[in-house]
Amino acid sequence: MKRNSGEEYETKESKPVSGKLFQNKDCLCSKKLINGIGYEYRRAKFDSFWKLASFEKQNWFPYGLARKQSIKQRRPRNYEGYMRKCSFKTDGRCKMVGSSRKTDEEKIKVVREHILSFPACESQYTRSHHTSSRKYLSADLDIRKMYIQLIREKM
């Protein structure tokens, strides 16, 4: 199939599609890794990819280019330090004590009260069934508007 071999072909609608041409472009990444790979090597890999002429083989092609390397450095496993930070619940699960990522309870309370200050209504889908006690905010209200209003209230 010409499409899988990188050659020029026509689609079912008779639209011409140009063949694949190797382009020696500069790398736009900050590390400029492409500079460490020579032009001839890249050209040879490009040609060998399109000579496969099989979609399945072309999907496996990158795996053949990857090289397995040993791990140079691992993080030490300090279970004792982990256990000190951890307090076990009665069911055996671990809960981190003093986590730096945890949001302050007071901030959560302020945000929750702010959200509850907006008028809520029932969903139009649950009105007829009366089975749900869920309330919904207005459709024209979004997080950005709510945040701006919260900031204005605080200042």
Q: What is the pLDDT of residue 51?
A: 92
pLDDT tens digits, 125-135:
655 555 667 77
Whole-model pTM: value is 0.43
Candidate ranges 19-33, 47-61, 91-105; pick with highest mean pLDDT? 47-61
Cα gap 37→24, rounded to integer Å: 11
Q: What is the pLDDT of residue 84?
A: 52
For residue 47, CA distances in Å to 22, 44, 79, 88 come to 8, 5, 51, 59
Cα gap 53→98, rounded to integer Å: 58
What is the average per-residue pLDDT within 1-28? 88
Cα gap 64→55, rounded to integer Å: 15
Confidence of residue 4 (pLDDT cuts 50, 70, 90): confident
Q: Does 154 have pLDDT greater than 80?
A: no
Residue 153, amino acid: E
Residue spans of the domains in the chain: they are 9-65, 105-154
Structure tokens of 69? 């390397």
Confidence of residue 46 (pLDDT cuts 50, 70, 90): very high
Q: Which residues contact 41 (CB under 8 A, 6 or more apart)?
A: none
Confidence of residue 95 (pLDDT cuts 50, 70, 90): low
CA atoms within 13 A on the CB side of 153: 12
State in Å, rounded, how far the first CA of the chain is from the last one. Answer: 67
Q: Does 88 have pLDDT greater than 70?
A: no
Q: Does 35 have pLDDT greater than 90?
A: no
Which residue carries 């709510």 as its tokens? 146
